[in-house]
Structure 1
Amino acid sequence: MSLTFTLASRNLFHDRLRFIATLIGIVFSVVLVMVQMGLYLGFGHMVTTMIDHTSADIWVVPKGAKSFEDPSLLDLKLRDRVAGVQGVASANPLVIGFSDWRLDSGEVTPVFIVGVDPHDGGLQPWNVVDGDVRALSQGPTVAVDHSYFDRLGVKGVGGTAEIRGRRVKVVAVTDGIRSFTTTPYVFVDVKNARTYTGTPPDRASDLLVRLKPDADRGKTIEAIKAQVGDAGVLSTAEFRKRSHDFWLFGTGAGAALFAGALLGAIVGTVIVAQTLYSSTKDHLSEFATLRAMGSSNSYIYNVIIYQALLNALIGFSFAAAIGAVVVRMTAKSALPIVITPWLVAALLALTVVMCVISAIGAIFRIVRIDPATVFMR
């Protein structure tokens, strides 16, 4: 095995220019697939970010609601019914909706209002880097993400603007709470959210329900369903999946990203196959010499496979390093690229498979070599 590996590595590194060209092809292909899949995962993560940061066990949502951003409303009377169900610890209303943000310069930009109770812990701003979230309950105050400072015309805590003609002040700043629709999230007290979104006092967007520790989850959910009529009753995991599927598959946005990732994989496979096949083909005379010297077919096959594996591992290492840089560079962008450990493992396996398949293609070419050709040179 060591002799086979030594021959494979020497054969691979002998022509450094050809080796570099092969690596470039592999690295380009892997990075292409990695970026496309990273965009797909990043989008999938962003569409459920609000649900992921909510401590609710159960969501009561309007009939047919597809996602967190759905503008439909519930009758607030349902809150008392749900709160009275055995096993329910709390049922708090959530008020969300679009509104207009007027900068001090007079420019107007749309924002997405998220009305929260800063004391109940159901949903509130996270990754707070400046200010105090509890101050949201103290009058017309807001919390915004620093990535939207330019868009909102503020520079931090103390900044001011108007929402629907009402003066507001920034009292908390977060880091990393971005909307996939590019419309800034603006956190406010749930009471002020009604004013800013025009939501009637007897309506709410959703109910965030938390269960008691000893509650029978299944029975409690059935009891809640019996109290809310045609409203939807979903666990956080179910609502997350519904929202995820709606934005990724129902709107076509996710399908486009997935198609891009699939196309990247196909193009990457073709590039790697062509590159490795050409590299192996350039060494036909060497393999013909080995056959003329009496080397077995299995020995030659192993040499080619080892060359492919070396190419795969070295090329993937460079691609992974580039991917890490790309992730860091896009971390603060509107659509960050997300590369998870399982994606890295899957791409490593894909790279190895691509290289081995390419090597097998070259093997079919080599087995047809007549050893006598080495004496005809």
Structure 2
Amino acid sequence: MPLVLTLALRNLFQDRLRFAAAVTGIVFSVVLILVQMGLFYGFGRMVTLIVDHTSADIWIMSKGTQYFEDLSILDSDMREELRALDGVADAIPVVAGFSAWIPPEGGLVGIFVIASDPASGLAPWNIVEGGLDDLAAPGTVTLERSYAAELGVSARGEAAQVRGHPVTVGPVTSGLRSFTTRPYVFADFRNARSYVGLPANLVTYFLVRMKPGADLERLRQDALSRISGIEALTPDQFRARSRNFWLYRTGAGAALVAGALLSVIVGTVIIAQTLYSSTKEHLYEFAMVRAIGASNRYIYRVIACQALVNALIGLSVATVISIAVGHLTATSIIPVVITPGLVTIAFAVTLVMCVASGVASIVRIIRVDPASVLTR
């Protein structure tokens, strides 16, 4: 084992209680950072949940539409115009909108209805009971298990009403939650307009599928130039627009951004204070090492090594805790999403904070006169 690492470990483990306190401070800080960033990332995923699970090359929507649940109304005759564009294989209509669910026991629950051809790429997922074929039957809708108590139904075949129209529960899903808190209810396309109060000649979106070898950007521009009052966005563009709206233009997003930034600031202060106090306790030991001829560079390496060990141990424990939090919130409205990329970022931030906090200690150590230790 290199002498630098040996000295660093001995300094850290000499007072195990102090070391445990230092690691606890780091773990708390990293958990705070990971959870806040995980909330931010989880919210970003939730606002694009439908787009992420839909297979389409281009989304056609009304001009100014910001996100999937936003108001978008298109003439159903537009389908033929889209199909006539060079490079279009098909344009599948989608009907979506807010509606009212009436449980068997009575009452009223707000829901968001979604309907399209199940083969279009916009269909319920995580189905645990039944199948997509069930939606072919008129008056059939999906049930998300996590909303069962709220909707007053719990199994296939149970009946309720949507905007006064009788419906029967078909496929049952698990984990398909809506960030708006209004349950997503997938329905058969033929009755969907009645559920959301949309006239027979209108739809909400068109999902465009391209022919093999077609130019995506050219097709987008053709659609925009030939059809007025629409926007043609790729899934990536639609995702970016939705996240930009909710994360940076609303109070909810601003709160999450502020929370993530505050967690980094608070974490930095806690880690800096913890490691500075820990290193300060060994001030005269480092001065003694300098007195016997060690260079400043050697001292830098020892403290950097201590910072790295603290960061690795703190991050490892914090990651396990954060992943556990992620599992516990997996079915919540806004889950904490912990990804390998997020852990990598947290490690980089933690390492920088640990090393940066050691800088103040290094300055203090270098200023100590090595000769002063001989008078103790």
Is 1:276 matched up with 2:275?
A: yes
Is 1:12 matched up with 2:12?
A: yes
1:156-175 deviations in whole A, cap 9, x for unaligned?
A: 22222111122211110112
1:265-305 deviations in whole A, cap 9, x for unaligned?
A: 01100110010000111111212322333333222222222
Deviation >4 Å, runs of 4+: none
Task: Name the structure 1 match of 2:249.
Answer: 250
Task: Name the structure 1 match of 2:316.
Answer: 317
Is 1:63 matched up with 2:57?
A: no
Counterpart code for 1:36? Q
The residue correspondences of 1:147-296 to structure 2 (distance < 5 A) are 147-296=146-295
Q: Is the 8 A contact 2:100 2:110 kept in 1?
A: yes
Q: Is the 8 A contact 1:61 1:74 kept in 2?
A: yes
Change beyond 3 A, Cα 1:28–1:227: same
Task: Name the structure 1 match of 2:145.
Answer: 146
Give 5+ residue unaligned stretches, structure 1: none
The residue correspondences of 1:329-348 to structure 2 (distance < 5 A) are 329-348=328-347
Mean Cα displacement is larger for which, 66-75 or 215-224? 215-224
CA distance in 2, matches of 1:298, 1:79: 71
TM-score in terms of structure 2 length: 0.96
TM-score in terms of structure 1 length: 0.96
Q: Is the 8 A contact 1:78 1:227 kept in 2?
A: no
Q: Is the 8 A contact 1:103 1:152 kept in 2?
A: yes
CA distance in 1, matches of 2:43, 2:333: 10
Task: Name the structure 2 match of 1:128.
Answer: 127
Task: Name the structure 2 match of 1:44.
Answer: 44
Using the TM superposition, give the Cα deviation of residue 212 of structure 1 relative to its aligned residue in structure 2, in angstroms: 1.0
Q: Is the 8 A contact 1:71 1:96 kept in 2?
A: no
Give 5+ residue unaligned stretches, structure 2: none
Q: Is the 8 A contact 1:249 1:255 kept in 2?
A: yes
Q: Is the 8 A contact 2:92 2:116 kept in 1?
A: no
Aligned alpha-carbon RMSD (Å): 1.4
Using the TM superposition, give the Cα deviation of residue 306 of structure 1 relative to its aligned residue in structure 2, in angstroms: 1.2
1:238-272 deviations in whole A, cap 9, x for unaligned?
A: 12211121111222322220111011001100110
Q: Is the 8 A contact 1:82 1:227 kept in 2?
A: no
CA distance in 2, matches of 1:288, 1:248: 50
Task: Name the structure 2 match of 1:111.
Answer: 111
Counterpart code for 1:114? I
Q: Is the 8 A contact 2:92 2:120 kept in 1?
A: no
CA distance in 2, matches of 1:225, 1:297: 65
Q: Is the 8 A contact 1:247 1:253 kept in 2?
A: yes
Counterpart code for 1:104? P
CA distance in 1, matches of 2:299, 2:161: 74
SS in 2 for 1:113: strand
Using the TM superposition, give the Cα deviation of residue 42 of structure 1 relative to its aligned residue in structure 2, in angstroms: 0.2
Q: Is the 8 A contact 2:74 2:205 kept in 1?
A: yes
Counterpart code for 1:80? E
SS in 1 for 2:120: coil
Q: Is the 8 A contact 1:133 1:143 kept in 2?
A: no
Using the TM superposition, give the Cα deviation of residue 19 of structure 1 relative to its aligned residue in structure 2, in angstroms: 0.1
Using the TM superposition, give the Cα deviation of residue 341 of structure 1 relative to its aligned residue in structure 2, in angstroms: 1.4
SS in 1 for 2:367: coil
Mean Cα displacement is larger for which, 237-246 or 255-264? 237-246
Counterpart code for 2:358? A
Task: Name the structure 1 match of 2:363.
Answer: 364
Counterpart code for 2:169? V
CA distance in 2, matches of 1:232, 1:79: 14
Counterpart code for 1:134? D
Using the TM superposition, give the Cα deviation of residue 28 of structure 1 relative to its aligned residue in structure 2, in angstroms: 0.5
Task: Name the structure 1 match of 2:73.
Answer: 73
CA distance in 2, matches of 1:330, 1:137: 33
Change beyond 3 A, Cα 1:298–1:225: closer
Task: Name the structure 1 match of 2:303.
Answer: 304
Task: Name the structure 2 match of 1:32.
Answer: 32
CA distance in 2, matches of 1:86, 1:72: 25
Counterpart code for 1:249? Y
Task: Name the structure 2 match of 1:95.
Answer: 95
Residue correspondences, number: 376
Counterpart code for 2:184? Y
Mean Cα displacement is larger for which, 229-238 or 4-13? 229-238
CA distance in 2, matches of 1:327, 1:154: 28
Mean Cα displacement is larger for which, 235-244 or 7-16? 235-244
Mean Cα displacement is larger for which, 225-234 or 352-361? 225-234
